[in-house]
Chain A
């Protein structure tokens, strides 16, 4: 039975296996380790996941969806080809594709698996992730916070002990974690992050830059035009990491626009984003009560840290050069695999103990006559407390002959409960008595998975109630079983066809992005390929495929000057 770690990301997902020699990434059917977190329903009803689906976002926006991780834990979803898919189901399709890749690699089933989730994920969002794994037919018992996974991967890599600050700037989120490694113990001292700051925001800065230059309003563009503009901006952003300028050419509303974006120009446009990067860093360092000078090493992970300005910011803040991880996109998946290895008590990790923190404050709302809405937060578990942790507090009635005490559980840092996220509530009846005479003891227990159990005990009655909260938006068990069966019916195309599908989707996308003679050229290439596929046995398709891929490569390399 293989042990796997899965990084279910906003833009890309990865799976890594824990082997005797350490974590090892698994490539998908296309030979890439990164599988875009996108799902598309083909015209024949087959489900496309990954690169093919991401390409179809441009050509078939009504049948394709991406970035659905943001909906986890809510009832939101997308309607694709006439069927409504919840975020759990879409994630399950991605997970299933990853699982198929891993099983194709090992030839056996996946046993233990750990999925990474953003540190700020609340209880319902974590449960939605577990539900997605269940829908995909993967037994997941353990979730790991993404910054923790990154820290673990780095901590295992490095031989030195000390304090490491790990900055993880991914596609959609920014996470900071402070790892203290001593005597074989890996202790996460603090996690902080910005859940709406990532490489995508830098891309949007380029989009805004280009749109402003040509007097276009990105909000008013047709979906296909916007998708094309975003792809072009993404390419410009990548080019600017290596060069001082990047040329672009793009057809918007039937008109070809071209120009060049300079690096300084891009950096000025991204200045507000860089400022937002600083806040979580300062918070993590302050929460861990560590002097900035006492941090031994600053480590950059996440694809977006390839941008020179992010590296320069880290260098400036700490007055020294940060370490750039050689595989910034892979770190979280490698760490998740290591966590899976830890959980399975793999021999290679026998000496390692990992401790994590709860990245947010958990508390109950209490009556406070001086507050505007008469209630304030009473925190029980403070953020960045080491987990597992159990804390209790006593609460009393505030009115004479009060019949019951309602415990409302909140997650968040704000003094006002209304500004925090409500997790759930419990009602405990108490005997009638003057105000302040009757009370309850409330105990919060937060476990290593990030699940919160609330126990309430009546002081005089001794009555006891225990609750693990589920959001109403989470799926019920019966609903899960039903959807599992429904999903099992949806067929993914056979693995050996995945590559053909991806090539066809890519050609369709190139067709959509180009005009005139170029379109004719692509159309000819594509129909030649499709005719050949129909004629040939699949076994012989690989040479055809290689030729077609080479053609497309050549086309894209010369783009847009062909």
Chain B
């Protein structure tokens, strides 16, 4: 049974016809009497409202055309509980051109606003007098309020970092925002997102978490503009998508604080008179997962094996340049350890070389040359076999750090996890040093060993 059969109307984009058919069917499919039929009806309506005829269709508001042959645009929207006519597709972020983008035309049979209230009385215009005359909200006109907000925001955007943290300036801007209408607020939120995206440089973030001024600002911003939505808006700015985002950080910070607050509130609400919690704390691991999460889980479990395999495959590289490979593989501590071993081997080899006499190497020189080679081999074996463990430990440390910073979703974490050490400026120095020490240590220890035991001949 197709959704159109359920509704009893042919394929159409006429919202009015769909709603009329829905209302008619609803009289015989009441939610109390026939929950199953009702749900089918609701889903059929959601499908019908989201349905669009094939591309060639005329793009008319009232297009009542019955494109019977046009395949419905898949059932993907059938799951959407309810799509709003006219605004089913959200308009693009409107802060780009607030004036030029008209709000989407309303397809619905909305009567012109000649509202006659039978019982309710409109709130009288005396409200206009409610705010005192010198109040900027009352003085400026409708469009002027948004313009004033934008201007003040631009001031802050242009300010130096010290001004940027100036709480009083922010408060003044946010007070202006109090007077905006819902539609204007959407524009305002977009402007705020554009400003906050990538505003603070990376290293400052951790320190900023403990700055009481900034935290007060975060609270106020979240209260006024819902930072989670601001961050969402900021993500839609393509030119900034690859840069560090203050908005993200602010949202994470705010959600952490909100969580703590909610937790406290929840504890109070669900407490017995004797002070014990009503709902016992959960100490057991939940033992189930959704099918899509299993994929991640398995990839992660087998990921360690994959790393080891790759480690063996590229072992020859680690044997040649152990320090460099360890550093590149995100195991800097191991790289340092390997490099110091190699440096030791180099020094021991030089010490052995200095004791060579014309008659050849003595016993001590031979022992030192052998030791240098042994140290060299140990360093290379360590680099070949140990780096996966170091790398995995480091990766999980990153996950923990991402959690603390509030990047709780896999998508939010990915940028942090994929940020490899080789993106760090320190890596260049380490790499040069590693190549130098790898080559010097290896070549010197080997030549001295060969010379000491007269193997070169």
Q: Is the interface of A mostly helix, strand, loop or mixed?
A: mixed
B130 to A312, Cβ gap below 8 A? Answer: yes
Annotate B254-290 by CB proximity to A: 1 below 8 A, 0 otherwise: 0000010011011001111100001100101111111
CB nearest neighbor in B for A408 = B286
Comparing B102-110, B350-358, B382-390, B447-455, the segment that makes contact with chain A is B102-110
Using known A-B contacts A275-B224, A323-B122, A369-B296, determine if residue A160 contacts B116 with beta carbons closer than 8 Å: yes
With contact pairs A294-B86, A414-B259 given, residues A326 and B119 touching in the complex (Cβ less than 8 Å): yes
Q: How far is the CA of A382 from the CA of B79 in the complex (A)?
A: 11
In the assembled complex, which residues on chain B have CB atoms less than 8 Å from the CB atom of A393? Answer: 290
Which residues of chain B are near A278, meaning CB under 8 Å? 224
Bound CA span A196–B265, Å: 10
Q: Does A443 contact B (CB under 8 A)?
A: no
Which residue of chain A has its CB nearest to the CB of B83?
A: A289
Give A557 Cβ to nearest chain B Cβ, in Å.
Answer: 27
Interface status of A189 (Cβ within 8 A of chain B): yes
Please determine whether B297 and A294 come into contact, CB atoms closer than 8 angstroms.
no
Q: CB < 8 Å: which of B131, B296, B403 contacts A312?
A: B131
Give complex CA distance A396, B226 in Å: 36
Determine if A353 and B27 form an interchain contact, defined as CB atoms under 8 angstroms apart.
yes
Question: What class of interface size applies to chain A in its complex with B?
Answer: 35 or more
How many B residues are at the interface, by size bracket? 35 or more
Within the complex, the shortest CB–CB distance from A276 to chain B, in Å, comes to 7
Cβ A365 vs Cβ B259 within 8 A = no
Contact between chains at A281 and B182 (CB < 8 Å): yes
Whether A402 contacts B130 in the complex (CB less than 8 A), given A159-B116, A414-B259, comes out as no
Q: Which of B20, B115, B142, B271 has the most CB of A within 10 A?
A: B115
A415 touches B120 (CB 8 A): no
Residue B87 at the A interface, CB < 8 A?
yes
Known contacts A317-B181, A415-B409; is-contact A282 B226 (Cβ 8 Å):
yes
- Taking CB atoms and an 8 Å cut-off, the chain A residues in 160-219 that contact chain B are 160-163, 182-185, 189, 196
Contact A318 B23 (CB under 8 A): no
Decide if A405 touches B273 in the complex (CB within 8 Å). Answer: no
Does B456 reach chain A (CB closer than 8 Å)?
no
Q: Which residues of chain A are within 8 angstroms of B185 by Cβ–Cβ distance?
A: 282, 317
- Residues of chain A within 8 A (CB-CB) of B27 are 351, 353
- A291–B86 touching, CB < 8 Å: yes
A142 to chain B, nearest CB (A): 9
Q: How many A-B residue pairs have CB under 8 A?
A: 267
Q: Please indicate the chain B residues that have their CB under 8 angstroms from the CB of A435 in the complex.
A: 294
Contacts A319-B181, A385-B81, A387-B31 given; does A378 touch B119 at CB 8 Å: no
> Does B39 sit at the interface, judged by CB under 8 A?
yes
Cβ of B84 within 8 Å of any chain A Cβ, yes or no, is: yes
In the complex, how many angstroms separate the beta carbon of B451 from the nearest chain A beta carbon? 55
Q: Which of B42, B83, B289 has the largest number of chain A CB atoms within 10 A?
A: B289
Report yes or no: A396 in contact with B288, Cβ–Cβ below 8 A. Answer: yes
Minimum CB distance partner of B263 in chain A: A419
Is the Cβ of A382 less than 8 Å from the Cβ of B81?
yes
Residues of B within 8 A of A77 (CB): 273
Q: Which residues of chain B have C-beta atoms less than 8 A from A184's C-beta?
A: 23
Q: Is the CB of A311 within 8 A of B127?
A: yes
Tell me whether A366 and B290 are in contact (CB under 8 A): yes
**CB of B350 to closest CB in A, whole Å:** 50
Tell me the complex Cα distance, A381–B111, Å.
Answer: 33
Q: In the docked arrangement, what's the CA distance between A371 and B406, Å? A: 11
Interface residue B22 (Cβ < 8 Å from any Cβ of A):
yes
| Closest chain B CB from A279 CB (angstroms) | 7
Q: How far is the CA of A555 from the CA of B106 in the complex (A)?
A: 58
Residue of A nearest to B183 (CB): A292
Q: Once the chains bind, are A183 and B23 in contact (CB under 8 Å)?
A: yes
Per-residue A-contact encoding for B293-314, CB less than 8 Å = 1, 0 else: 1101110100000000000000
Is A290 interfacial (CB-CB < 8 Å)? yes
B181 touches A292 (CB 8 A): yes
| B123 interfacial by beta-carbon distance below 8 Å | yes
A292 and B111 contact, Cβ closer than 8 Å, known pairs A384-B81, A386-B82: no
Q: Does B136 contact A (CB under 8 A)?
A: no
Among A324, A370, A390, A404, the one with the most B-chain Cβ atoms within 10 Å of its Cβ is A370
B179 is an interface residue with CB less than 8 A from chain A: yes
* Contact indicator B110/A296 (Cβ below 8 Å): yes
User: Contact check: which of A275, A355, A385, A422 meets B31 at CB < 8 Å?
Assistant: A355
A294 to B183, CA, bound (A): 11
Q: Is the beta-carbon distance between B83 and A75 smaller than 8 angstroms?
A: no
A366 contacts B288, CB within 8 Å?
yes
Q: How far is the CB of B43 from chain A (nearest CB, A)?
A: 9
Binding site for A on B (CB under 8 A): 19-20, 22-24, 26-27, 30-32, 35-36, 38-39, 42, 81-84, 86-88, 90, 103-104, 106, 108-111, 113, 115-125, 127, 130-132, 137, 142, 178-183, 185, 223-224, 226, 259, 262-263, 265-266, 269-273, 278-279, 282, 284-291, 293-294, 296-298, 300, 399-400, 403, 408-410, 413
Mind listing 8 A-B residue pairs with CB under 8 Å? Answer: A158-B119, A282-B226, A294-B110, A296-B110, A299-B120, A321-B122, A343-B32, A396-B289
Q: A-B pairs with the 5 shortest C-beta distances?
A: A183-B23, A388-B35, A292-B182, A289-B84, A323-B120
- The residues of A with any CB-CB pair to B shorter than 8 Å are 70, 74-77, 154, 157-163, 182-185, 189, 196, 264, 271-272, 274-276, 278-279, 281-282, 285, 288-294, 296-297, 299-300, 308-309, 311-312, 314-319, 321-326, 343, 351, 353, 355, 364-372, 374-375, 378, 382, 384-390, 393-399, 402, 404-408, 414-419, 421-422, 435-436, 439-440, 445, 447-448, 473
